[in-house]
Amino acid sequence: MRRALLAITGLAAGTTALVVLKGAPGTSQAAQDRPVAEAPVVPGGSAAPGPAPGGVTPSARPGASAKPSAKAGASRAPGTRTSATTRVTTRATTAAPRTTTSAPKVTTRTVTGPVVSYRYGSLQVRITLSGSRIVDATGLGMPLDGQSGLRSDDVQARYSGSSGEVVAKQSANLNTVSGATYTSTAYKQSLQAALDKA
Amino acid sequence: MTYQDTYATGRRTGPSAPYGGRPAAPVPPGVPRRGPGGRRALSAVFWLGLVAAVLPWWLATPPGSLADTTGLLTAAGRITGLVAGYLLLVQVLMMSRLGALERRLGGERISRAHRDVGATLLVAVLAHLALLVVGYARMEKNSILGQVGALLTHYEDMVSAFVAAGIMVAVGLTAVRGVRRRLPYELWHHLHLTSYLALLLGYGHQFSNGAQLYEPGPVRTGWIAAYLLVVAALVWGRLIVPLRFNLRHRLRVADVVAESPDTISIYLTGHRLNQIDLLGGQYFRWRFLNPGCWWQSHPFSLSAAGNGRWLRLTVKVVGGHTAELRDLRPGTRVWAQGPSGTFTAAHRTRERALLIAGGSGIAPLRAMLEELPPGAALIYRARTPADVLLHNELDWLAQARHTSVWYVVGSRDDPGPRQVMSPEGLRRLVPDLTRRDVYLCGPGGLVEEAVRALRRAGVPRRQIHLATFEL
Ligand SMILES: Cc1cc2nc3c(=O)[nH]c(=O)nc-3n(C[C@H](O)[C@H](O)[C@H](O)COP(=O)(O)OP(=O)(O)OC[C@H]3O[C@@H](n4cnc5c(N)ncnc54)[C@H](O)[C@@H]3O)c2cc1C
Test mutation, B57, B59, B61, B69, chain A, max A CBs within 10 A: B61
Min CA distance, A45 vs chain B (Å)? Answer: 27
Q: Give 3-state DSSP helix, strand, coil % of chain B, rounded to 5.
A: 55, 15, 30
B283 Cβ below 6 A of ligand 1: yes
Residue B375: DSSP 8-state:
-
Amino acid at B320: G
Is A18 in contact with B64 (Cβ distance < 8 A)? no
Rounded to whole angstroms, the Cα distance separating A185 from A196 reads 16
**Plot region of A8 (φ>0 → left; ψ -120 to 50 → alpha; else → beta):** alpha
- B138 Cβ inside 6 Å of ligand 1: no
What's residue A25's pLDDT?
A: 59
| Least confident piece of the model among B4-13, B60-69, B389-398, B411-420 | B4-13
**Average pLDDT taken over every residue of chain B:** 87
Segment A60-64 shows an average pLDDT of 37
Q: Of A41, A38, A88, give the one whose Cα is nearest residue A61.
A: A88
- pLDDT tens profile B45-57: 999 999 999 998 8
pLDDT for the residue numbered A106:
53
Average pLDDT over residues B318-329: 92
C-alpha closest to that of A36 among B278, B65, B176: B65
B72–A176 CB contact, under 8 Å: no
Helix (H, G, I), strand (E, B) or coil at A149: helix
What is the DSSP secondary structure assignment for residue A114, as one 8-state letter?
A: P
Q: Is the pLDDT of residue A72 over 80?
A: no
Residues of B within 8 A of A10 (CB-CB) are 120
Residue A91 has pLDDT above 50, yes or no: no
The pick from B109, B110, B260, B298 for probing ligand 1's pocket by mutation, whose C-beta has the most ligand atoms within 8 angstroms, reads: B298
Sign of CA dihedral B71, B52, B240, B32: negative
Chain-chain contact of B119 with A7 (C-beta, under 8 angstroms):
yes
What values do phi and psi take at B249, rounded to 5?
-105, -20
* Cβ-Cβ contacts under 8 Å for B13 (sequence gap 6 or more): B258, B259, B260, B261
Residue pair A7/B114 in contact (Cβ under 8 Å)? The answer is: no
Q: Is B444 in the pocket of ligand 1 (CB under 6 A)?
A: no
Mind telling me how many Å the CA of A144 is from chain B's nearest CA? 14
Nearest-CA residue for atom 10 of ligand 1: B315
For the ranges A87-91, B232-236, B240-244, B382-386, which has the lowest average pLDDT?
A87-91
Residue that wins the pLDDT comparison between B63 and A64? B63
Helix, strand and coil content of chain A, in percent to the nearest 5, comes to 45, 15, 40
CB A152 within 8 A of CB A142: yes
Res A149: pLDDT = 79
Q: Is the pLDDT of residue B27 over 90?
A: no
Task: Kindly give the distance from the C-alpha atom of residue B5 to the centroid of ligand 1, in angstroms, as a whole number.
Answer: 29
What does the alpha-carbon distance between residue B317 and residue B360 come to, in Å, rounded to a whole number?
A: 10
Query: What are the backbone angles phi and psi of residue B125, rounded to the nearest 5°?
Result: -65, -45
pLDDT at A64: 37
Comparing CA positions, the residue from B225, B196, B246, B238 lying closest to residue B98 is B238
How far is Cα A103 from Cα A194, in angstroms, rounded to an integer? Answer: 19
Looking at residue B324, its pLDDT comes to 93
- Residue A82's CB is within 10 A of a number of other CB atoms, namely 21
CA distance B332 to B150: 57
Q: Nearest CA of chain A to the CA of B61: how many Å?
A: 7
User: Measured in angstroms, how far is the CA atom of residue B315 from the centroid of ligand 1?
Assistant: 9
Higher pLDDT, B5 or A164: A164
User: Distance (Å, rounded) from C-alpha B330 to C-alpha B138?
Assistant: 68
- The span from the CA of A99 to the CA of A104, in Å, is 9
DSSP letter at B240 equals: I
Q: Is B301 in the pocket of ligand 1 (CB under 6 A)?
A: yes
Of the listed ranges A153-157, A176-180, B357-361, the one predicted with least confidence: A176-180
First to last CA, chain B: 36
Q: Is A61 on the interface with B (CB under 8 A)?
A: no
Among B7, B467, B15, B466, smallest CA distance to B264 is for B15
User: In the prediction, which pLDDT does A26 show?
Assistant: 52
- Pair B423, B456: CB distance under 8 Å: yes
Q: Check the CA dihedral B43-B44-B47-B52 and report its sign.
A: negative
Contact B83 A15 (CB under 8 A): yes
Q: How far is the CA of B262 from the centre of ligand 1 (A)?
A: 14
What one-character-per-residue DSSP string does A20-82 give?
Answer: HHHH---HHHHHHHHHHHHGGG--SSTTTT-S-HHHHHHHHTTSTTTTGGGGS---PPPSS--
pLDDT of residue A63: 37
Q: pLDDT > 90: what percent of chain B?
A: 52
Angle between helices B218-235 and B69-94 (to 10 degrees): 30
Cis peptide bond N-terminal to B339, omega within 30:
yes
Give the mean pLDDT of B20-42.
67
Q: What is the CA radius of gyration of chain A?
A: 19
Amino acid A130: pLDDT: 79
Is B322 a pocket residue for ligand 1 (Cβ < 6 Å)?
A: yes
* SS3 assignment for B270-298: CCCHHHCCCCCCCEEEEEECCCCCCCCCE
Of B66, B127, B155, the CB nearest to A22: B66
Residue B299's beta-bridge partner residues? B285
d(CA B393, CA A139): 85
pLDDT digits (tens, 9 = 90+) for B75-106: 899 999 999 999 999 999 998 988 888 878 87
B374/B364 Cα distance (integer angstroms): 17
Task: Give dist(CA A90, CA B325) in Å, integer.
Answer: 83
Residues near B21 by Cβ (< 8 Å), separated by ≥ 6? none
> B48-85 b/e with 16+ CB inside 10 Å = b?
eebeebbebbeeebbbbbbeeebbbbbbbbbbbbbbbb
Distance CA(B11)–CA(B13), nearest Å, equals 6
Instruction: Provide the pLDDT for residue A110.
Output: 81
Rounded distance between C-alpha atoms, residue B414 and residue B251, angstroms: 43
* Mean pLDDT, range B145-165, rounded to an integer: 87
| Residues A33, B83: C-beta atoms closer than 8 Å | no
CA distance B132 to chain A (A): 10
Which whole number is the average pLDDT over B366-373? 92
Closest atom, ligand 1, to C-alpha of B299: 17
* Distance separating alpha carbons of residues B362 and B440, to the nearest angstrom: 9
Q: Give the per-residue pLDDT at B111.
A: 84
